[in-house]
Structure formats: C-alpha cells, structure tokens
C-alpha cells in the first residue's frame, strides 16, 4: 500500500508543481503566531520570491497534517510544510521528504544544533527537516491581579491547585483557561501525569505506553486528580481555542492556564500592563523537567522547485533569523550558539531549564504535541484522555483498558 501511495505521490508531484506558486503550509493562527510568521514572511521576501504561506488552523497541527496527507495524495502538495516530531518520521519512512545534506553541511548542524534537535530532525543518519523552534509545554501561566484580589498564592502542587480552583470558583472566576478541545485537555493531563508520576512514570506511560505502568496505582491517582479538576470545571467549558482562552487569562476572566510557552508569543503582542501581570511558573511538581515540543519544516520529495526551497531553508537556518523568530514565537532556538540574553524572563528560564534538563537527561517529549509516539496512537490516546475528562461517567478502569488496547496496535 505504501509503495502505491509513494508511486501516486511521485507521479502526481511531477505534474502538480508547475500549477501553483511556492507554498508553505502551517497551522499558526493566533495573534502571536502570526506576528512571528510575519517576520518569517519578510525573510521569505514573498513579493519577489513567489512564496506564499497558508494556514490550516487547529492547535497541535492535527488538521494541518490531515490536509497535508490529503493534498500529497491528491497531487497538490505544498512545497514546504510545518511538521513536528513523530510526523516527520512517518513522512521520512515513506521516502516522501527531501534530504537536507547540503544545508546541514553549510550550517554545520552536527555541531551547531542541540543534540536532541538533530535526533528529532534526522532519519537514518541524514537530516530530513529544518528545525525552527523548541517550545516547553510544562508551564503554568497565572494572572497576578486575579490571585492578589483573591488573596491566593500560586499553587505548587496539584492538590494546592485543586484547592485554588474551588476558591476561585466560589468567587465566580474561571479557574483555568481551557477550551473543550482534546489537544488543550491532553496537555493538562500530561502535566498532571508528570507532576504526580515523575519522569520515569511519564516516559513509561506516555512514551512507551507500557501496560503495567498504565495499569498501576499511580495511574489511578493521576486519573482521580484529573477527574476532580474535570468535575470542577468541565460544565463551564466552551469550544474555544487555546488563544481565546489565553485572552481570557490576559483579561482576568480566567486565573490560570496550563499550556506551552506559545503564550509568550501572545504576550509579545499584548500591552505592557498585560506583560507585567502574567507570570510563568513551571507546572506543579514538574520542576527539573523540560517537556519539549519542536516546530520543523519539511520539503516533500519530487518537487520541481528544490533550488528555491533550499534558498528559503538557507535563510531560515541563519542564526539571526532563528534568534529573532524564536524571540517573537515564545520558544528557544534549536541551535546551541545563539545568545538569548535579550529574551523575556520566561524564555530565559526555559533556556536555562533546557540546559539543566539536557545535562541531567530529564528532557521529555510532549506526547500531546506529537513528539513521543506514533501519530496514529497519539491521536487515539489524546482522544481517550479527552473522553475521560468530558465523560465523567467513564471509569478509571475503562480508560486503562482502552489505553492498553491502543498500546497493542501494531
Ligand atoms: C504547537 C506548535 C506551536 C504552537 C502550538 C499552538 O503544536 O508546535 O508552534 O503554536 O501548537 O498552536
């Protein structure tokens, strides 16, 4: 089957590429993301280079990946696409991506990229994607004015957070900025799993999906906290995007948000007052760990425009570009030779914590954000987590049995 798809793609690519301008497909859609993207578009020089960018919104890129697959098979693939982690592996295993050997050599990526970045963007010893960012997902964002008004202190543990949730609810304040969206809810879950389970549990459960770990007392403990939060807030959830929830946090309509540092991208385009009012804390009980997500770009093989793609990638691999783009995006650079002393305090802490976590071998891949497991299993697991949060009748054992069934998929 894979060979048929590969043949279809290669035949279709040879006809499709003359029909349209050069396209970069991505899923960035928030104010902060678009602010960072506009910088990328300036470097891309759209007016003269014939490049255009196209957004397929949907946090985590699930929708964008579906569109990429459909367009590749239909013969109208983009020249370049934003992609993450294990999705890169899937496309590389099918032989659908261009190797970036020349660029890797001119940029000396073997030495200038952080080791983990090389690991994520290579396949069988060759670079197959261009690294753009490193985001951290184990963050708690907090509106200081709301906490001060409520005479509350930032929660250091998940049990503290549950107490704070009930106190905020009693005051009519939305405790957590969270949309009724599987990607957002799954990031909350993986932070609880890490906070209560620790990095060994996290790795065994959410990277290896080890049946014994899933069927353990620790999982029951994590699910009971996850359910307690759900019972407190899920009736008030709306179908809002992460950035809409971030806006509620900024406006004081919500008190906290547990999500990645793409929030910094939103702070970059917010008011000075908001920037001074929103603080970052490592998610409860996850100090010492850095849960990573990375943005990369792939170019699909068979394109007639590989020379223009290489020219664009050359620009997007420069230190100056990566310094400025990550500063705007709220992420840290994928290279190890970029000074971030002019980044905001949260990003600088992210960079420091990355180095500490790298040195102590405690870097962990975000399962929700496609860095840890096979994309099919990831989407099934995220959906299971979502079902458990929304359906308060679902038992812990049902969740555990379903996740073990997912782990058995070949
Ligand atoms: C992630 C992506 C980030 C960020 C986030 C929210 O998957 O890697 O760049 O923008 O989605 O859209």
Q: Is the CB of 297 under 6 A from ligand 1?
A: no
For tokens 């394109």, name the residue: 303
Q: Separation of 106 CA from ligand 1 center, angstroms?
A: 28
Residue 84 Cα to ligand 1 middle (Å): 9
Distance of alpha carbon 241 from alpha carbon 402, whole angstroms = 27
Would the pLDDT of 244 be above 60?
Answer: yes
Q: What percent of the chain has pLDDT over 70?
A: 95
Ligand 1 pocket mutation, candidates 39, 187, 369, 382, criterion most atoms within 8 A of CB = 369
Task: Tell which atom from ligand 1 comes closest to the C-alpha of 295.
Answer: 8
* Residue 402 CA, ligand 1 centroid: distance in Å: 27
Q: Could you give the maximum distance between any two Cα atoms of the chain, in Å?
A: 65
Which residue CA neighbors atom 11 of ligand 1 most closely? 60
pLDDT at 4 over 80: no
So what's the pLDDT on residue 17? 47
- pLDDT value at position 59? 75
Model pLDDT for residues 38-47, shown as the tens digit of each residue? 999 999 988 8
Q: Which of 268, 293, 298, 370 to mutate to test the pocket of ligand 1 (most atoms within 8 A of CB)?
A: 293
Query: Which of the pair, 238 or 6, is modelled with greater confidence?
Result: 238
CB of 79 shorter than 6 A to ligand 1: no
Read off the pLDDT of residues 311-324 as tens digits, 9 standing for 90 and up: 999 999 999 999 99
**Local confidence band at 9 (pLDDT 50, 70, 90 cut-offs):** low
The length of the chain in residues reads: 410
The candidate with the shortest Cα–Cα distance to 261, out of 135, 153, 84, is: 135
pLDDT surpassing 90 at residue 370: yes
Q: Name which residue sits closest to atom 9 of ligand 1, judged by CA.
A: 295
Q: Whole-prediction pTM value?
A: 0.94
**Strand bridging mode 130-136 / 290-299:** antiparallel
Dump pLDDT digits (tens) for 63-91: 999 999 999 988 889 999 999 999 999 99
Closest ligand 1 atom, CA of 29?
12
Work out the number of other CB atoms within 10 angstroms of the CB of residue 34.
15
d(CA 11, ligand 1 centre) in Å: 32
CATH, domain range 21-135+293-361: 3.40.190.10
Q: Are 117 and 134 in contact (CB under 8 A)?
A: yes
The rounded distance, in Å, linking the Cα atoms of 135 and 290 is: 9
- The rounded Å distance from CA 134 to ligand 1 centre is 10
How sure is the predictor about 5, in pLDDT bands with cuts at 50, 70 and 90?
A: low
CA distance 235 to 154: 24
Please check whether residue 43 is in contact with residue 130, taking contact to mean a CB–CB distance below 8 angstroms. Answer: no
pLDDT > 90 in the chain, percent: 90
Residue 354: what are its φ and ψ, rounded to 5°?
-60, -50
**Any idea which of 75-79, 211-215, 281-285, 391-395 has the lowest mean pLDDT?**
75-79
pLDDT per residue over 134-167, tens digit each?
999 999 999 999 999 999 999 999 999 999 999 9
Q: What is the mean pLDDT of the segment spanning 7-17?
A: 56
The yes-or-no verdict on residue 195 having pLDDT over 60 is yes
Helix (H) or strand (E) holding 128: none
What's the pLDDT at 47? 82
123 has a pLDDT exceeding 50:
yes
Residue 26 near ligand 1, beta carbon < 6 Å: no
Name the residue at shortest CA distance from atom 12 of ligand 1: 59
Q: Ligand 1, closest atom to CA 294?
A: 8
Token pair of 120 as six digits: 């994520």
Q: Ligand 1, from 260, 267, 268: best to mutate by most atoms within 8 Å of Cβ?
A: 260
Domain ranges of the chain: 21-135+293-361, 139-291+364-407
Distance of CA 354 to the CA centre of its chain: 16
The stretch 124-128 carries a mean pLDDT of 97
Q: Is 183 in the pocket of ligand 1 (CB under 6 A)?
A: no
The three-point CA angle 322-326-329 to 5° equals 145
Overall fold of domain 139-291+364-407: D-Maltodextrin-Binding Protein; domain 2 (3.40.190)
Residue 130 clears pLDDT 90, i.e. is over it = yes
395 SS3 class: coil
pLDDT over 70 at 12, yes or no: no
Task: Judge whether residue 378 has pLDDT over 50.
Answer: yes
Quote the ligand 1 centre to 294 CA distance (angstroms): 8
CA of 144 to the centre of ligand 1 (A): 25
> Which pLDDT value is given to residue 301?
82
Same fold, 21-135+293-361 and 139-291+364-407: yes
Confidence bin at 129 (pLDDT 50/70/90): very high
- Select from 409, 406, 357, 358 the least CA-distant residue to 385: 406
91 lines ligand 1 (CB under 6 A): no
Of the pLDDT bands very low, low, confident and very high (cuts 50, 70, 90), residue 304 is confident
Q: What angle do CA 14, 16, 19 make, to 5 degrees?
A: 130
Q: Is the shortest distance between the CB of 61 and ligand 1 below 6 Å?
A: yes
DSSP-assigned letters across all residues of 33-45:
HHHHHHHHHHHHT
């Amino acid at each position: 089957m894979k060979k048929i798809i590969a043949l279809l793609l290669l035949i279709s690519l040879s006809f499709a590429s003359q029909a349209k301008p050069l396209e970069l497909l991505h899923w960035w859609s928030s104010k902060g993301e678009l602010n960072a993207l506009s910088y990328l578009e300036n470097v891309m020089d759209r007016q003269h280079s014939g490049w255009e960018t196209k957004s397929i919104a949907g946090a985590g890129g699930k929708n964008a990946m579906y569109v990429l697959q459909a367009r590749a098979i239909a013969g109208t693939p983009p020249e370049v696409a934003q992609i993450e982690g294990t999705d890169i592996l899937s496309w590389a295993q099918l032989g659908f991506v261009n190797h970036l050997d020349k660029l890797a050599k001119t940029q000396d990526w073997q030495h200038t990229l952080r080791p983990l970045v090389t690991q994520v963007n290579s396949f069988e010893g060759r670079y197959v994607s261009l690294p753009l960012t490193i985001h951290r997902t184990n963050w708690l964002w907090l509106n200081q004015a709301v906490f001060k008004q409520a005479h509350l202190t930032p929660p250091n543990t998940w049990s503290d957070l549950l107490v704070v949730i009930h106190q905020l609810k009693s005051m009519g304040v939305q405790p957590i900025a969270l949309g009724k969206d599987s990607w957002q809810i799954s990031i909350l879950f993986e932070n609880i799993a890490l906070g209560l389970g620790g990095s060994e549990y996290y790795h065994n459960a959410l990277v290896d999906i080890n049946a014994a770990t899933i069927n353990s007392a620790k999982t029951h403990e994590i699910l009971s906290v996850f359910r307690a939060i759900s019972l407190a807030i899920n009736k008030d959830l709306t179908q809002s995007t992460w950035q809409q929830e971030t806006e509620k946090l900024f406006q004081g309509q919500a008190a906290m948000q547990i999500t990645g540092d793409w929030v910094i991208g939103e702070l970059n385009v917010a008011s000075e007052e908001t920037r001074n009012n929103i603080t970052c804390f490592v998610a409860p009980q996850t100090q010492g760990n850095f849960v990573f997500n990375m943005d990369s770009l792939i170019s699909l093989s068979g394109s007639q425009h590989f020379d223009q793609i290489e020219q664009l990638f050359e620009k997007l691999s420069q230190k100056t570009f990566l310094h400025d783009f990550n500063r705007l995006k709220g992420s840290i650079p994928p290279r190890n030779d970029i000074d971030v002393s002019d980044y905001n305090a949260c990003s600088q802490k992210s960079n420091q914590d990355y180095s500490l976590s790298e040195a102590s071998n405690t870097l962990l891949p975000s399962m929700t954000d496609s860095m840890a497991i096979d994309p099919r299993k990831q989407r099934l697991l995220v959906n299971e987590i979502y079902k458990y949060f929304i359906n308060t009748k679902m038992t812990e054992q049902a969740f555990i049995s379903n996740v073990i069934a997912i782990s058995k998929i070949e």
